[in-house]
Structure 1
Amino acid sequence: MYQNDKAKTAKSAPTWHLFVPKLYTLLRLGYSWTDLRHDAIAGLTVAIVALPLAMALAIASGATPDKGLITAIIAGFLISALGGSRFQIGGPTGAFVVVVFDVINRHGYDGLIVSTIMAGFMLVIAGLMRLGTFIKYIPQPVVTGFTSGIAVIIFSSQLNAFFGFGIDGLSANVIGEWTTYLSSLSRIDPITSGLAAATLALIILMRVYMPKAPGFLVALMLGAVIAVLFSLPVATIGSQFGDLPKFLPAPSLPQFSLQEIPALLPSAFTIAFLAGVESLLSAVVADGMTGRRHRSNCELVAQGVANMASGFFGGMPATGAIARTATNIKSGGRTPVAGMLHAVFLLLIMLLFAPLAVYVPLACLAAVLVIVAWNMSEFDRFVNLLKAPMGDRLVLVTTFLLTVLVDLTVAIEVGVVFAALVFMHRMAGAVEIATHVTLLEGDRDDLADSSQSAYVPGHGLPKGIETYEITGPFFFGTVSLLADVLDRIDVTTEVIILRLAKVPMIDATGATALSDFVDRSLSKGQVIILSEAQPTPLKLLTRMQEEKNGGNLLLAASFEDAKRFALARQSEKP
């Protein structure tokens, strides 16, 4: 009784309840000073981690460091305030570096703002259409392939600052970058590369021996102090970008024409895709660490609103950041207030300490991004996936190579399509007729003796009655041999029984193929009986037959009924 009442309550709940932010639902349960203390400590800790990352990622993306801070403040606050996850921390991430850099190069920073706002709108629509569930089904080889590819691109782009090459107008592709590096080895600056290597070593040592310390921030501060005390001739944020603003800019729209929108659509789609996938992946990781459960579609709507707001304030694309979300959880964050406070603390740091950021060497930021690239590479997972079945390996390597060598958008599109084809191939292999004649096979040798392929199933029924059993989901990837099966049926066959008990689903193509099978059989004077069909496939088949020719399907609830009906039909003939 209880379960039925609970099910009725769930069904009667309004749809808009799915989009109520976690913040509201948690505050309704009560919020104590103890919760605030835990959230404040976690928020401050995450802000300390996010500060150097926001600036470094902005610089790597071809923007100025203040753009990263603006994004972390505006988008970070809204993602936590409006999202469907209790622990999500949002802001700029490494996944966007490549696409942001490309958009700025092609369309300028105003083009990036328009793309970000468009992507935000797409995310809101995707959330309202409840597509969050489907985004979570993006295959792991595709996700790992393009994140590992992005990691390689980030790493390659930072070698210029890490070694102090001082190369202007560096090629935008990995091959061109490495060609330039190898031809410029004599330009390596020992002071810059030494400072970068020391920063990298310090971050690694702190991770090993002081894992709870803010390694990125400590390393940047020490690097800045050393550069100032010893007057090191190295490039800094101040020398490269000037002073950072102490206040948030007023919201505004860039100057653009409607003619530019079609050119920006692919970039906007890529931003929306990356934001959706990474935010939901981050939320899933948080659920696994805490045992809680997020609302994916509410999270997508929040990501969309946050990206639109970031664009209006002149920021960059944002999404859920896995490392910062994990830091929030480990630091004791309890509610979305922690993420909101992390944005507030970043704003205070920007207001009070922006003048000090100009002393941070770019070599130190390059060392930070090398660590970010290593974390993004998911090397262990990449290697593990190389041991997966051949189809998964091909998807992984193809997506990875296209990301590095061609274009991120192309890599995502090809990777997803390739993964879908692999999936369809596997499903087709799982669908078979009871005699183990698979519905997906190679080309037939026309020169072979046709008598060798004759199909005579053993079913114990009288001559003239044949039975076939289809097993597995019957969709467009598994219907290619259905007509061939009909061709191989003996011409003296009078009744054909199709057993469908093991067909859990059927799509329009599968239903059309079966409907055509029925029509062709009827044209030869044969009777078709569908036996044991499940409700959903049966409903589609019946509807398509009725629309086509008034309905020629003969149905049997069980195989025994089908056999009795077949014997009766056979006995009716003279």
Structure 2
Amino acid sequence: MFKDQRYLHYNAAGFRQDLIAGITVGIVAIPLGMAFAIASGVKPEYGLYTTIIAGLLVALLGGSRYQIAGPTGAFIPILLAIVLQYGYEDLLIAGFLAGILLVIMSFLGVSNLIHFVPRSVTIGFTAGIAVIIFTGQFQNFFGLTGVEKKEFFHESMMEIARHFHTVNTFSILTAAIGLVVIFLLPKIAPKVPLLLIALLVPTICSILFFPGKVETIGTAYGGIPQHFPSFHFPEITLAKLVNLWQPALIIAALGAIESLLSAVVADGMKSKVPKHDSKKELFGQGIANIVTPLFGGIPATGAIARTATNIGSGAVSPISGVVQSLFVLAFLLLFAPYASYIPLAAMAPILMFVAWNMSSRKAFAQIASLRSGDSLVLLTTFLLTIFVNLTIAVEVGILLAALSFLRKMSGSLHIKKSKLTDVEKFKLSPENEFELVKFKISGPLFFGTAKYFEDRYPELLNLEQKTIILDMKNLTAIDATGEAALSAMLDEAGRQNKRLIFKKVPPEKVSLFKRSGLYDKIGEDNFFVL
């Protein structure tokens, strides 16, 4: 099915670059993997398992040279909702089914349809997800206790407000230290791995200056096992398939969008190398999401920030992704017990930082300032993502975008009177040119513009000329509704004993007329080529 061109001209120097890049990305991926898992309502080690397995499989089977896959912030609200409603075991089944759907998508060429998702929709739901991630860290940032995770945003905010009296000043101090590191370190030492240092510094401070005062991974989750998980096939029943097909479809759709968007970003950063293979990329993502749940991992997709870090660190092939996975595996096997000391408050500023970066603030403000149909789509998608769920947000967003497009297209059909040529006069009415009148039809004649055409053609037929030329050289598209409108005009012309001449109809439209029977109704003699 696929031809892999990603290793052409690979050599020892390229391997050295991939080794450095892979280790660099691995350092970034460790805190993110744990943080994303915790934010998704599951244990932190599941994020590491996902980073290892999905990162390895996408690197080997994907369609991009530079793609780094793993748990991402975009999945957090979806996975948390599935965990709260169905539980962790069913999340694994949903991820497994999503992987199957992604593989099917790769064979069906669905990757091309991703480009039809409007930018206002993607920016809207991405910004909404960023808000959910950011506010979702309030509990750990302030060290609140007794807070139950809720599926809906407003319920979560109300739960946090009810328990705000349990605020822990040591948690705030820990999170504040992390924020200071995130703000200052890039200015002082831009090449140092920011997120790892932002995790280590507040962790060390909490251990040295106020041990036992803040909740840690160890106290909350019992620590991280120092071994690779065993294979476990989830129990899939018909009832579970019925319940989980929709969550699986959501995971697959978002995973496809995120992975292909990440691959496109990577193409833009490396313009002189061959572009990614979108079909192969979806295939690799699908296999990764099939295998990862079998070892306890959560759904994964292409991670834009880690992919950009990979390229910025000098990666030249998918080997960097393999190195990243092996590095995280080494961390799991050698240093997992030390992760128990990491305060949850130290994770909060990292996820807030991720949410801030993924919020697309400039693009959001730019589209919102247009005060157009795109602005309405953006804000609707944004608000529905926050207050309802991502599925409804995307469905409504695309529907509104389609309606906005149709409204714009409805004004794109033009019917204008045009000057007769000498050939037309000679061929069609040599004795009396005043019996002729010509109109040019430009634009699409479809269900969105058919009403305009139906309102205009009586005006054309009411003219005194007996022969009416319809110049269709610039007819860009026509559908069944447009054909019905033309047919109705023919019927009315027949009742008024007037002749319709169709000039320069594009060949593909003529073929369409023949298949629908409209060609015979018009009559071969009424098609004029010159």
Shorter-chain TM-score: what band? Answer: over 0.9
Q: Is the 8 Å Cα contact of residues 494 and 527 (structure 1) preserved in structure 2?
A: yes
Task: Give a deviation string over 1:427-446, Cα, whole Å, max 9, x none.
Answer: 222222226xxxxxxxxxxx
**Paired AA for residue 277 in structure 1:** I
Structure 1 counterpart of 2:312: 330
Distance (Å, rounded) in 2 between the aligned partners of 1:209 and 1:422: 48
Cα deviation, residue 543, structure 1: 1.7
When residues 553 and 242 of structure 1 are mapped into structure 2, their CA distance, relative to the original with a 3 A threshold, is farther
Structure 1 counterpart of 2:486: 514
Structure 2 counterpart of 1:3: none
Q: Is the 8 Å Cα contact of residues 482 and 517 (structure 1) preserved in structure 2?
A: no
Q: Is the 8 Å Cα contact of residues 467 and 497 (structure 1) preserved in structure 2?
A: yes
Q: Is the 8 Å Cα contact of residues 501 and 528 (structure 2) preserved in structure 1?
A: no
Residue 268 of structure 1 pairs with residue 248 of structure 2: yes
Structure 2 counterpart of 1:288: 268
Residue 113 of structure 1 pairs with residue 92 of structure 2: yes
Structure 2 counterpart of 1:440: none
Identity percentage of aligned residues: 40
Indicate the SS of the match to 2:476. Answer: coil
Indicate the SS of the match to 1:504. Answer: strand
When residues 216 and 422 of structure 1 are mapped into structure 2, their CA distance, relative to the original with a 3 A threshold, is same
Distance (Å, rounded) in 2 between the aligned partners of 1:517 and 1:241: 73
The 5-angstrom pairing of residues 76-95 of structure 1 reads 76-95=55-74
Q: Is the 8 Å Cα contact of residues 501 and 534 (structure 1) preserved in structure 2?
A: yes
Q: Is the 8 Å Cα contact of residues 542 and 553 (structure 1) preserved in structure 2?
A: no
Task: Give a deviation string over 1:23-68, Cα, whole Å, max 9, x none.
Answer: x3233x3321111100010000000001100100000000111111
When residues 516 and 203 of structure 1 are mapped into structure 2, their CA distance, relative to the original with a 3 A threshold, is same
**Paired AA for residue 413 in structure 2:** V
Uncovered stretches (5+) of structure 2, i.e. residues with no partner: 426-432
Aligned residue among 312, 325, 336 for 1:354: 336
Cα deviation, residue 126, structure 1: 1.5
The 5-angstrom pairing of residues 44-55 of structure 1 reads 44-55=23-34
Q: Is the 8 Å Cα contact of residues 161 and 362 (structure 1) preserved in structure 2?
A: yes
When residues 505 and 524 of structure 1 are mapped into structure 2, their CA distance, relative to the original with a 3 A threshold, is same
Structure 2 counterpart of 1:237: 217
Distance (Å, rounded) in 1 between the aligned partners of 2:10 and 2:95: 34
Aligned length: 516
The 5-angstrom pairing of residues 125-524 of structure 1 reads 125-230=104-209, 231-291=211-271, 292=273, 293-388=275-370, 390-434=372-416, 462=433, 464-488=435-459, 489-490=461-462, 493-522=465-494, 524=496
When residues 242 and 149 of structure 1 are mapped into structure 2, their CA distance, relative to the original with a 3 A threshold, is same
Distance (Å, rounded) in 2 between the aligned partners of 1:553 and 1:106: 64
Distance (Å, rounded) in 2 between the aligned partners of 1:356 and 1:555: 84
Q: Is the 8 Å Cα contact of residues 51 and 346 (structure 1) preserved in structure 2?
A: yes
**Paired AA for residue 308 in structure 2:** A
Cα deviation, residue 458, structure 1: 7.8
Indicate the SS of the match to 1:468. Answer: strand
Distance (Å, rounded) in 1 between the aligned partners of 2:296 and 2:500: 66
Indicate the SS of the match to 1:225. Answer: helix
Task: Give a deviation string over 1:476-526, Cα, whole Å, max 9, x none.
Answer: 322222222233321755333222111233334333433443344345443
Structure 2 counterpart of 1:58: 37
**Paired AA for residue 409 in structure 1:** T
When residues 370 and 485 of structure 1 are mapped into structure 2, their CA distance, relative to the original with a 3 A threshold, is same
Distance (Å, rounded) in 2 between the aligned partners of 1:336 and 1:121: 23
Cα deviation, residue 289, structure 1: 0.8
Distance (Å, rounded) in 1 between the aligned partners of 2:51 and 2:520: 61
Residue 530 of structure 1 pairs with residue 496 of structure 2: no
Distance (Å, rounded) in 1 between the aligned partners of 2:329 and 2:61: 19
When residues 172 and 207 of structure 1 are mapped into structure 2, their CA distance, relative to the original with a 3 A threshold, is farther
Q: Is the 8 Å Cα contact of residues 47 and 345 (structure 1) preserved in structure 2?
A: yes
Distance (Å, rounded) in 2 between the aligned partners of 1:257 and 1:317: 20
Distance (Å, rounded) in 1 between the aligned partners of 2:258 and 2:110: 14
Cα deviation, residue 555, structure 1: 5.3
Q: Is the 8 Å Cα contact of residues 542 and 551 (structure 1) preserved in structure 2?
A: no
Distance (Å, rounded) in 2 between the aligned partners of 1:555 and 1:351: 80
Distance (Å, rounded) in 1 between the aligned partners of 2:526 and 2:224: 75
Q: Is the 8 Å Cα contact of residues 49 and 296 (structure 2) preserved in structure 1?
A: yes
Q: Is the 8 Å Cα contact of residues 95 and 290 (structure 2) preserved in structure 1?
A: yes
Q: Is the 8 Å Cα contact of residues 476 and 507 (structure 1) preserved in structure 2?
A: yes
Uncovered stretches (5+) of structure 1, i.e. residues with no partner: 1-15, 436-456, 562-574
Distance (Å, rounded) in 2 between the aligned partners of 1:482 and 1:262: 46
When residues 33 and 555 of structure 1 are mapped into structure 2, their CA distance, relative to the original with a 3 A threshold, is farther
Distance (Å, rounded) in 1 between the aligned partners of 2:252 and 2:488: 41
Distance (Å, rounded) in 2 between the aligned partners of 1:557 and 1:210: 74
Cα deviation, residue 554, structure 1: 4.8
Q: Is the 8 Å Cα contact of residues 380 and 397 (structure 2) preserved in structure 1?
A: yes
Task: Give a deviation string over 1:223-263, Cα, whole Å, max 9, x none.
Answer: 22222223141110111111212233233321232122232
When residues 517 and 319 of structure 1 are mapped into structure 2, their CA distance, relative to the original with a 3 A threshold, is farther
Distance (Å, rounded) in 2 between the aligned partners of 1:45 and 1:298: 26
Q: Which moved more, 1:96-105 or 1:120-129?
A: 120-129
**Paired AA for residue 385 in structure 2:** T
Indicate the SS of the match to 1:85. Answer: coil
Indicate the SS of the match to 1:254. Answer: coil
**Paired AA for residue 268 in structure 1:** A
**Paired AA for residue 487 in structure 1:** P
Distance (Å, rounded) in 1 between the aligned partners of 2:438 and 2:242: 55
Indicate the SS of the match to 1:255. Answer: coil
* RMSD, matched Cα: 2.1
Q: Is the 8 Å Cα contact of residues 522 and 528 (structure 1) preserved in structure 2?
A: no
Distance (Å, rounded) in 2 between the aligned partners of 1:308 and 1:26: 23
Cα deviation, residue 384, structure 1: 1.2
Distance (Å, rounded) in 1 between the aligned partners of 2:269 and 2:402: 30
Structure 2 counterpart of 1:568: none
Indicate the SS of the match to 1:25. Answer: coil
**Paired AA for residue 399 in structure 2:** V
Distance (Å, rounded) in 2 between the aligned partners of 1:376 and 1:431: 40
**Paired AA for residue 539 in structure 1:** S
When residues 491 and 26 of structure 1 are mapped into structure 2, their CA distance, relative to the original with a 3 A threshold, is closer
